[in-house]
Amino acid sequence: MPDRTLRVAMNGVTGRMGRTQHLVRSVLPLRDQGGLRLDDGGRLQVEPILVGRNEAKLRELAARHDVAEWTTDLDAIIADPATDVVFDAARTGLRPATLTKAMRAGKAVYTEKPTAETVSEAIALARLQRAAGVTAGVVHDKLYLPGLVKLRRLVEEGFFGRPLSFTIDFGYWVFEGQTQPSQRPSWNYRREAGGSLVTDMYSHWNYVMEGVVGRVRDLYTQTATQLDRRWDERGQAYRATADDAAYGIFGLETPAGDRVVAQINSSWCVRVHRDDLVEFQLHGTDGSAVATLHDCVAQQRSITPRATWDPDVRNPIPFRDQWSQVPANADLDNGFKAQWAEFLADVAAGRPHRFDLLSAARGAQLADLALQSSAEGRRLDVPEIEL
């Protein structure tokens, strides 16, 4: 088959995530490696178009990375018949309008999440995708992390037997900004500006639970604002109003119909005493595994030590030494780049991407229900979204 080129309008590339993960570490390497080899034998080239509001930043970014085209006119590039894909990493509040225009113009869309600030808007986007018949993808980067790729392979190979429980322990200390600069923007801690750990992270945890174990059927979450005084980028003190910690219990259903209990602790107010900033544990009747961003260790039932409780004697079992490293057995590339490659191949083939706007709507729904659960102090069912 002959080679072809996809022109990708990248909106929001002057922001940190859009610039670093999507442009510099994903699309540009795909371009510079000569594109993608497709299943039909052809090669797919990618041509980025930088889009944003700051002309000076766009010009400098384009010159630095040898990108031929950039523009501040988002509407014009969406309307351009030569544009194949519209990617959005700009502010969440503007995203529904951008994605709506792009899909109505017949463009494939790829987007960061949340896809909207409300569940109703996220569902409306998923309905429009179905009506427009375009290929749409939502960034699910954590499923492409080497550690989770290894963990998912164990699931697919039946290593765990019947899965029993799944745990995510996530978080680190985000400095308040008074004596040391905060690692996150101050708006993250202002509810009135859209800040919320639940809104930020539960969209991730939803697709991780779906991608590794199964669909979420019910939940209970308790949120907290544990540090209510922080300092912004100008050194001015402000009252933090957004949740900065969330503790959740989830009922999951596997594709085989088994019920699994998941527990997720998320906090920007903890100090790390684990192997990475996030840790995923899956336990089953036949084995267990623990994954971080890059690594995964596993222990089979047959070599599980026989632990006994005796608080008067120092435990003699070297528990960590009795787990085996799970090999990659493949070249696991940057997770953002890997998903970009999969999405662009789907666009070229005219087929759906497995992580579409409906998956994003389910993530928004989970975050919304979690906040409701915390406010009402009760467990809630997670209904199916009907399109």
Digit-coded pLDDT (tens) for 269-286: 999 999 999 999 999 999
Structural domain boundaries, residue 153:
143-331+365-376
> Quick check: is 51 in a domain?
yes
pLDDT in tens, 242-265: 999 999 999 999 999 999 999 999
Tell whether 387 is covered by a domain. no
Query: What is the per-residue pLDDT across 289-338, written as a single tens digit (0 to 9) for each?
Result: 999 999 999 999 999 999 999 999 999 999 999 999 999 998 898 999 99
Decide if pLDDT at 26 tops 70: yes
Identify whether residues 175 and 55 lie together within a single domain: no
* Domain shared by 245 and 214, yes or no: yes
* Same-domain pairing of 224 and 318: yes
169, 211: one domain: yes
CA dist., res. 299 & res. 138, Å (int): 33
When pLDDT is averaged across residues 131-146 and rounded to a whole number, the result is 97
Place of tokens 């399109």: 387
The answer to whether residues 103 and 252 belong to one domain is no
What CATH number is given to the structural domain containing 33?
Answer: 3.40.50.720
- Residues 298, 320: one domain? yes
Tokens standing for 122? 């996220």
- The reply to whether 321 and 346 lie within a common domain is no
Let me know whether 153 and 170 are in one domain: yes
Query: How many domains does one find in the chain?
Result: 2
Closest C-alpha to 83, from 151, 189, 9, 19: 9
Give domain status of residue 137, yes or no: yes
